[in-house]
Amino acid sequence: MSEPPTVLVLGGGTRLPRALHRAGVRVIFAGTPDEFTGGHQAVCAEAWLADTVDEDFWVRRATALHQDSPFSRVVSLRERFLSCAARINHALGLGPNSLETVLMLKDKAVMRQVLAANGAGVLARLLETPEDLRFFVQEAGFPVIVKPRDGTGSEGVVVLRGPQDLPGVRARIEDRPGTLLAEEFLNGPEFSVETLSFEGVHQVLEVTEKFVGENLVEAGHLVPARVSAADRDALVEATREFLGRVGLVDGPAHTELILTPAGPRVVESHNRYGGDGINDLVRSVIGADPRDLFARQIAKREPAVVGTGSGAAAVWFVTARPGRVTALEGWDRAAAAPGVTACETMVAVGDLVVPLSGSDDRCGWVMATGATGDEVLSRVRHAVSLIGIRTEPEEAPGLPAC
């Protein structure tokens, strides 16, 4: 029997290093000193720490240190380190996913070009000048989605519903040409498919139902999605086809789709597990932590065994009116509500709540479990209704109070 591998983990908390350690893997952690904790120290054989997230620095440092402390693979589940991990794997010939594939998943404009070339496109155009936006609107018609080509967490995503919405986006294009992507608006409910791949075979862990507000920021997630067997099969098949097209062969992926009247259309994908607590929802339903499955797969060099799920789990996010937080109420009652497994506030008295434009602008969350999707949604929404966040409007700088 071969020796378990040594794996370099880039950034993040302790869950992945702990999972790898439990699977018998020798773990080296690389990241900033402020994110390295006693929990890391307990499970990591070495720690390479530097107060920077600069990719070039970590590529140079990891390839140099590899000569004295070799590792067989670099992994990261943190968005900021995905391309860095791929660059180190590429520089050292470690694989398994190509650098081209990982960079394509990070760059939505390139991803759209690849899909269009394979006949699976969504109307899209990279916005180099305001004229590009005008031409695209003429082609696609309103509404139109505009988003950063490399963004996450719905940050900076806007829906243009008519000519009145164009001036603000034109200014953004002029300030940062080539960084925004326009896409046709897709009608239909939103989902994500959580997968774990091995040698090009894509195992589905679960299908997640997504709930969004008018500004497209996620309001909540439900596992498993409440869809017919036929729609679930269509979502799964579209995901597997997409992952095959982009060349992902190993590790986790979180692929977001919209189920249009013409069938599922891929919005974007990431070679990591989904954020927003989706990992914990999946764990509650299938009885295994996706990080443990990934770690055992790395250790045994064979596909992870994924069981069947039961029950349902959901997370719902707490928002508040923009302004300065003056009081937080009801969190204890929410935590004690039926089915609630966890809840957390992300603001404190004195913090400033800004208008909701991305995931980081939300104020907290509640997670719950139940026997069915309908039951758990009722539970989690009831718990959120018990919470109150009072705010007072912030005075405009330089203006006297009324």
| pLDDT at res. 119 | 58
The Cβ-side half-sphere exposure at 169, using a 13 Å CA radius, reads: 30
Say if residue 302 is in the same domain as residue 319: no
The length of the chain, given as a count of residues: 402
Nearest to 58 by CA among 37, 38, 40, 32: 32
Phi/psi class of residue 102: alpha, beta or left (left: φ > 0; alpha: ψ in -120 to 50)? alpha
What secondary structure does DSSP assign to 269-293, as a single string?
A: EESS--TTTHHHHHHHHHSS-HHHH
| pLDDT at res. 270 | 94
Phi/psi class of residue 128: alpha, beta or left (left: φ > 0; alpha: ψ in -120 to 50)? alpha
Say if residue 201 is in the same domain as residue 306: yes
Q: Cα separation of 92 and 278, whole Å?
A: 32
Q: Which amino acid is at 91?
A: A
Quick check: is 376 in a domain?
A: yes
In this prediction, what percent of the chain has a pLDDT beyond 70? 95
Nearest to 356 by CA among 157, 162, 79, 176: 157
| pLDDT at res. 154 | 61
**Burial (CB count within 10 angstroms: exposed 0-12, middle 13-18, buried 19+), residue 384:** buried
| pLDDT at res. 399 | 45
Q: Cα separation of 47 and 29, whole Å?
A: 5
- What tokens appear for 285 in the block? 């339903």
| pLDDT at res. 214 | 67
| pLDDT at res. 382 | 98
Q: H helices within 176-310, ranges in order?
A: 229-246, 278-286, 290-300
Of 135, 157, 184, the residue that ends a domain is 184
| pLDDT at res. 295 | 96
Rounded to a whole number of angstroms, the CA Rg of the chain reads 22
Q: Cα separation of 114 and 122, whole Å?
A: 11
Say if residue 177 is in the same domain as residue 194: no
**For 107-141, how does the pLDDT look when each residue is reduced to its tens digit (9 = 90+)?**
988 888 888 866 556 889 999 999 999 999 999 99
Q: 73-75 and 46-49: which strand pairing? A: unpaired
Residue 348, pLDDT above cutoff 60: yes
Residue 228, pLDDT above cutoff 80: yes
| pLDDT at res. 402 | 36
Say if residue 255 is in the same domain as residue 273: yes
Cα 7 from chain centroid (whole Å): 23
Q: Cα separation of 249 and 96, whole Å?
A: 7
Per-residue confidence at 305, pLDDT binned at 50, 70, 90? confident
| pLDDT at res. 216 | 84
Q: What is the arithmetic mean of pLDDT over 266-295?
A: 94
**For 355-369, how does the pLDDT look when each residue is reduced to its tens digit (9 = 90+)?**
998 888 999 999 999
| pLDDT at res. 168 | 85
Domain hosting residue 47, numbered range: 6-95
Q: What is the arithmetic mean of pLDDT over 368-397?
A: 93
Q: Which amino acid is at 370?
A: G
In this prediction, what percent of the chain has a pLDDT beyond 90? 80
Q: Cα separation of 82 and 20, whole Å?
A: 18
| pLDDT at res. 198 | 96
| pLDDT at res. 101 | 96
CATH number of the structural domain spanning residue 72: 3.40.50.20
Quick check: is 253 in a domain?
A: yes
Nearest to 296 by CA among 288, 306, 304: 304
Residue 24, pLDDT above cutoff 80: yes
Quick check: is 147 in a domain?
A: yes
Residue 1, pLDDT above cutoff 60: no
What secondary structure does DSSP assign to 131-183, as a single string?
A: HHHHHHHHHH-SSEEEEETT--TTTT-EEE-SGGGHHHHHHHHHHSTTSEEEE
Quick check: is 113 in a domain?
A: no
User: Is-contact 62 30, C-beta < 8 A?
Assistant: yes
Q: Is 35 helix (H, G, I), strand (E, B) or coil?
A: helix
Higher pLDDT, 396 or 57: 57
Q: Is 83 helix (H, G, I), strand (E, B) or coil?
A: helix
| pLDDT at res. 118 | 60
Say if residue 215 is in the same domain as residue 325: no
Cα 325 from chain centroid (whole Å): 28
What residues does 344 pair with on adjacent strands? 365
Cβ-based neighbours of 309, under 8 Å, separated by 6 or more:
206, 223, 224, 285, 286, 287
Instruction: Report the chain's mean pLDDT, rounded to a whole number.
Output: 92
Q: Which residue has the tokens 């992926």?
A: 253
Say if residue 212 is in the same domain as residue 262: yes
- What tokens appear for 194 in the block? 């959580």
Of 184, 199, 218, the residue that ends a domain is 184
Q: What is the arithmetic mean of pLDDT over 183-191?
A: 93
Instruction: Outline where DSSP puts E strands in 38-112.
Output: 46-49, 73-75
User: Is-contact 281 192, C-beta < 8 A?
Assistant: no
Say if residue 318 is in the same domain as residue 306: no
Residue 262, pLDDT above cutoff 50: yes
CATH number of the structural domain spanning residue 256: 3.30.470.20
Residue 342, pLDDT above cutoff 60: yes
Quick check: is 10 in a domain?
A: yes
Higher pLDDT, 115 or 393: 393
Say if residue 174 is in the same domain as residue 196: no
Of 80, 95, 110, the residue that ends a domain is 95
* Lowest-confidence pick of 76-80, 117-121, 312-316: 117-121
Say if residue 277 is in the same domain as residue 347: no
Structural domain total, the chain: 4
Per-residue confidence at 401, pLDDT binned at 50, 70, 90? very low
Using CA atoms in the order 36, 37, 38, 42, what is the torsion angle rounded to 10 degrees?
Answer: -40
Say if residue 146 is in the same domain as residue 243: no
Quick check: is 108 in a domain?
A: no
Say if residue 263 is in the same domain as residue 203: yes
**For 92-108, how does the pLDDT look when each residue is reduced to its tens digit (9 = 90+)?**
999 899 999 999 999 98
Quick check: is 106 in a domain?
A: no
Quick check: is 323 in a domain?
A: yes
Say if residue 217 is in the same domain as residue 243: yes
Residue 400, pLDDT above cutoff 60: no
Q: Cα separation of 61 and 253, whole Å?
A: 27
